Chains A and B, each alone.
Chain A
Amino acid sequence: MNEVLKVENLNVDIRTQFGDVKAVRGISFNLNKKETLAIVGESGSGKSISVKSIMQLLPNNGRISKGSITFEGDDISKFSDRKMQNIRGSDISMIFQDPMTSLNPTMTIGKQINEVLKKHTNMTKEEMKARALEILELVGISSPDKRYKQYPHQLSGGMRQRVIIAIALACDPKILIADEPTTALDVTIQAQILDLMKSLVEKMDTSIILITHNLGVVANIADRVAVMYGGKLVETASADELFDNPKHPYTKGLLASIPKLDEDEQELISIPGTPPDLMMPPKGCPFAARCKHTLKVCEESMPEYYKISKDHLSACWLLDERAKHISIES
C-alpha cells in the first residue's frame, strides 16, 4: 500500500481557564509515500495542533478527544508514551518553527545529534560521530567537523535550521513533519531551506507534512495541499489543481491575497474579519461570518465534502446542486 499515514476524524481540545477550546474539529487526511502534503491556514486555524497531536507532543492541557491516527497499521493515537518514544525521532520526526530556540543552548551540536542516534540505533560512539558528520554534510553544513563541536549560538539561524533538519533525518524517518520551518528565517534563507528539503525528499524515502501559512512555499514544494480553517479542513487538492481551480471561497481568498508582481494593482487584497472563536465554534461553516457568498444554510450546518475530481475535495454549500441558482460573482 502506498499510504503511510491516515488521520481520521481527529478532534483535539485544549483546556483553558475560560473553557475548552476545540482547536481541531474532526479532520481527516492521508499521506502517501514520498509525498509532500502541505497544510495551509492562518494562525489559530489548528494546523500546528493537529500535527503535534500526531506526535503526541500536545501541551499538557491538550488532548485528543476523538479520532484515530493510523501509522503502519497501528492507531498511534492510542499508544502509551513509552511506545510513542520509539516512533518519535525514528519513524516520524518533527522540525519546528523557530531555529533560534529549538536547540538546547548549553549542548554542542554533535551531542544533540548523537542523542537521537543513541536512542534509536545501536551504533558505537565512532559510528554515531561518523553518522552525525555525514548527515550534517547532507544538510549542507560546511566544515561539519568544526560545527560538530560548536554550540548553537555560534551558528546562524539558517544553519541552526539545517542542524534541526539533520537531527530529524538522522534516523531515516518515514515521515517528516515540518511546522512552519521557514517562517522565522530570512527570505533568502527560506528558499535555501526549501530547496534542501526538496532535494532530501528525492534522496530519501521520506514523506513530508509541511505546515505553513505561506502559499509561495506551498507552490514551491507541495504535491498536495489541505486548507484548514477554524479547526476544520475546508479543501484538499493536488497543489496544481488548488492553484488552478480553487473551489472554497476561503481558498480563493487566500490565493487572491498573494501579492502579484506582474499586475498593477496597488492595493493588497485581504479577507476582512477574524477567524471564529473556537471556544464557542459556530455550528455551521466556520468561514460563514467572513464569506462573501454566505447562504442561510452556511450558518445552520457544516457542509460535507463535495468531490470535485479524484483528489479534490471541498466543503462548501455553494457546490451543492441546490445552490446552482446562485451566481458567484467575485
Chain B
Amino acid sequence: MMKKDNISKDLFIKAKVKEDEKDKIVRPKLTALQDGWIRLKKNKAAICCLFILIIIILLSCFAPVFSKYKYYETDYLITFNSPSPDHWFGTDQFGRDLWARIWYGARISLIIGFAAAFLDLFVGVTYGSVSALIGGKTDTVMQRIIEVLIGIPHLIIVILLMMVLPAGIITIVVALAITGWVNMARLVRAQILKLKNQEFVLAARVLGTSNKEIIKKHLIPNTVGVIVINAMFTIPSAIFTEAFLSFIGIGLQEPAASLGVLINNGYQVLHNYPYLLIFPAVVIILIMVCFSILGDGLRDAFDPRMRK
C-alpha cells in the first residue's frame, strides 16, 4: 500500500466510470459441457483409461483382421504352444491362435456391452420419461410395475431366459436388457421430476415457454448426463454378466469366442497352461477397470451431485 502522502494531488479528480463494466462478469463463461470437459481432462486416470479403451477397441476391430490366423482355425500340430513370435499369446488345445481369439472375443464382449447398454438406454429412457412427463395415473401405474419388477433378482431371469432362448449374442443382449432397463427408467424419471420442479424450469414456464421448448432446452440437456453416466456403468456390467454366463457354461458356446468363453476354456487347462487363462483375464480386467474409472471420472466431471 502506498503511503497516502505520496499520492499526487492530480489523482483526486473524478474518474470516468464505465457503466457497462459494473455488471461485467470477470471469469469466462463456460457451458456445462465445456466445464465438465475441463474437469475430466484434469482427471489423469480417467483420460488414461479412455486411451486404453480406445486402443482395446481398435485392437478388437483390427487385430483379428490383420492376424494371419483366424480365430476358429485349428491346427493340431501346434496345440498348447507357449507364446512365441509366431503366436504372440500362444495357442490353445486345438492349436488356435490366442491373439486372434482374444481380440475377436473382446470384440464380441464389447459388442454385447454396447448393445445391452444401448437397448437399456432406449427402453429405460422411454419408459422413464413417459412416466415422468405424463404423470398422474399413468405414472402411478408405471411406477407400481417398476416396484414389482425391482424386487426380482436379475440373474435368475437372465439365466432362465438363457436356457429358453437359442444360444447366441442376441439372446444375451435381450436377456440383459429385459432386466437392466428398470434402473435406467427410475433414474430418468427421478431426474425429470426433480428438474420439473426446479426454479429455472418454473421460471421458464412463467415466462411462457412452451412445453416442447422446455423439454428441448432444459429437460434434455440436464438429463443427458445422468443417462450417459448410467450407460457407462451398464457396459462393464453387461460384459461381466456375459463372461460369467459363458464361464458357468450357459452363455456363448465354442467355437464362438467371447472373453468369458476364453476364460472358461483357459480355466479347464489352468493347471498346465496358465497363460490361456491369464491373457484373456488381463484383457477383461483392463476393460472393466477402464470403464469403471472412466465412468467415475465422467460422473465427477459432469454431475458432481450424483457422486453418491
Q: Evaluate contact between A277 and B26: CB separation under 8 angstroms.
A: yes
Q: Evaluate contact between A280 and B17: CB separation under 8 angstroms.
A: no
The reply to whether the CB of A296 lies closer than 8 angstroms to some CB of chain B is yes
Most buried by A among B1, B10, B42: B1
User: B14's contact among A272, A293, A302, by CB below 8 Å, is which?
Assistant: A293
Closest to A293 in B: B14
Q: Which of A52-60, A243-251, A316-324 is near enough to bind chain B?
A: A316-324
* Residues of chain B contacted by A290 (CB below 8 angstroms): 22
Closest to A323 in B: B12
The reply to whether the CB of B164 lies closer than 8 angstroms to some CB of chain A is no
Once A274-B25, A277-B26 are accepted as A-B contacts, the answer to whether A302 and B1 lie under 8 Å apart by CB is: yes
User: A296's contact among B4, B13, B23, by CB below 8 Å, is which?
Assistant: B13
Most buried by B among A18, A279, A289: A289
User: A294's contact among B7, B9, B10, B17, by CB below 8 Å, is which?
Assistant: B17
Q: Evaluate contact between A322 and B22: CB separation under 8 angstroms.
A: no
Closest to A280 in B: B26
User: A272's contact among B9, B12, B15, B23, by CB below 8 Å, is which?
Assistant: B23
Q: Evaluate contact between A289 and B21: CB separation under 8 angstroms.
A: yes
Closest to B27 in A: A277
Size bracket, chain B contacts = 10 to 19
Size bracket, chain A contacts = 20 to 34
- Among A208-253, those with CB < 8 Å from B are none
Given A277-B26, A289-B17, A294-B14, 16 further pairs, Cβ under 8 A: A17-B42, A18-B27, A289-B21, A289-B22, A290-B22, A293-B14, A294-B15, A294-B17, A295-B13, A295-B15, A296-B14, A298-B15, A317-B12, A322-B9, A326-B12, A326-B14
What are the 4 closest A-B residue pairs judged by CB atoms, nearest first? A273-B22, A297-B11, A277-B26, A296-B11
Give the B-binding residues of A (Cβ under 8 A). Answer: 17-18, 272-274, 277, 279-280, 288-290, 293-304, 317, 320, 322-323, 325-326
Give the A-binding residues of B (Cβ under 8 A). Answer: 1-2, 4, 7, 9-15, 17, 21-23, 25-27, 42
